[in-house]
Structure 1
Amino acid sequence: MARQKLLEVKNLKQYFPAGRGQVVKAVDGVTFDIYKGETFGLVGESGCGKSTTGRTIIRLYEATEGEVLFNGVNVHGKKSKKELKELNRKMQMIFQDPYASLNPRMTVADIIAEGIDIHGLAKTKEERMQRVYELLETVGLNREHASRYPHEFSGGQRQRIGIARALAVEPEFIIADEPISALDVSIQAQVVNLIEAPAA
């Protein structure tokens, strides 16, 4: 049975202006394919453009040049609100910094349920909260944590909240930007297992 190609990155370039007509070539001609069910690792030294590649794939940055195809559809270029919304549901990102990626003014329940609300994945408030509770338990937290705020948690717990948020919309594709680099060694393996579990 032929493998299904999920993501195609073709000659991706991401340049940023650096003043006086200069540019920083953060990503310069990257090409790779990722297949459905596959775990793909992008390896390189600090500052080589790994995070920028991930952010460009998921369209947090508009590509300078090249193509990103998700299920054969170009991620970049003109898109309707409906098309962007659908892409945002199918592609999620777990950010490297669990401190900066969570809104400090939102409760954990609202952070996790944000995508559920946007995409209308729960018909009632009860269903919404039940889904939040299930996701909290999936990442090793409990329902009592739902009403708390990000500052009340350790770095490892915040990263678990970030993972729960990414899983909430049941994405087809997750970009994990060094999701365990900010965590204590003792819980790194647990977090890796959490990320791998949904695909099992």
Structure 2
Amino acid sequence: MNKLVEVKNLKQYFKVGKGQVVKAVDDVTFDIYKGETLGLVGESGCGKSTTGRTIIGLYEATGGEVLFNGLSVHRKKSAKEAKELKRKMQMIFQDPYASLNPRMTVADIIAEGIDIHGLASSKEERMNRVYELLETVGLNREHANRYPHEFSGGQRQRIGIARACG
């Protein structure tokens, strides 16, 4: 099997005052293989979200290394390389309501990545991709014109997953 993500001795420390440091993530190592799912579990405040944010490059790691398809996530990249990495690595947030814009329809939320990365050549192709993603996560095309507040928490989570897959 192919290693998709390699996390080696990841550290994420934050300075919180004069000489004080909080070790949010300290020496985390794991691999994720293509087709595999990894769940990070633990009590509130143990560093799960910080680990995720550091892995996808939202935070610069204090130490260690993160490789995606063999390439370092934290090395300097061209704008094109950074955009391609963002297209391939997405984070699905724990609180789906907070991560979905309440003023956007579900179709526009899901299509945001499709638009940014130029993955559809026409409005028709864009909507067909949105419908496909909705169906992939167990929703249907009629949901496309609704707004996030019209869905349950579980349905909102699936919208977030569809957006990440777009």
User: Normalization by structure 1: what TM-score?
Assistant: 0.78
Confirm or deny that 1:141 pairs with 2:136: no
SS in 1 for 2:13: strand
Match of 2:75 in 1: 77
Match of 2:49 in 1: 51
* Counterparts of 1:79 and 1:100, CA distance in 2: 30
Task: Choose from 98, 101, 104 the match for 2:99.
Answer: 101
Letter in 2 for 1:73: L
* Counterparts of 2:101 and 2:60, CA distance in 1: 24
- What is the CA distance between 1:109 and its match in structure 2? 0.8
Letter in 2 for 1:15: Y
Q: Deviations over 1:59-101 (max 9, x none)?
A: 1211111110111100003111111111111112211101111
Match of 1:117 in 2: 115
Match of 2:34 in 1: 36
Match of 1:89 in 2: 87
Confirm or deny that 1:132 pairs with 2:116: no
Match of 1:178 in 2: none
The worse-fitting range, judged by mean Cα deviation, of 65-74 and 143-152 is 143-152
Q: Deviations over 1:85-130 (max 9, x none)?
A: 1111111221110111111222111110011111111110011011
SS in 2 for 1:43: coil
- Alignment coverage as a number of residue pairs: 166
Letter in 2 for 1:77: R
Name the % identity: 87
Letter in 1 for 2:83: K
Match of 1:195 in 2: none
SS in 2 for 1:68: strand
* Counterparts of 1:146 and 1:41, CA distance in 2: 29
Task: Choose from 129, 141, 150 the match for 1:152.
Answer: 150
* Counterparts of 1:95 and 1:22, CA distance in 2: 29
SS in 1 for 2:119: coil
SS in 2 for 1:100: helix
What is the alpha-carbon root mean square deviation over aligned residues? 1.4
The worse-fitting range, judged by mean Cα deviation, of 42-51 and 74-83 is 42-51
User: Where in structure 1 are there 5+ consecutive unaligned residues?
Assistant: 169-200
**Deviating 4+ runs (over 3 angstroms):** none
Letter in 2 for 1:150: P
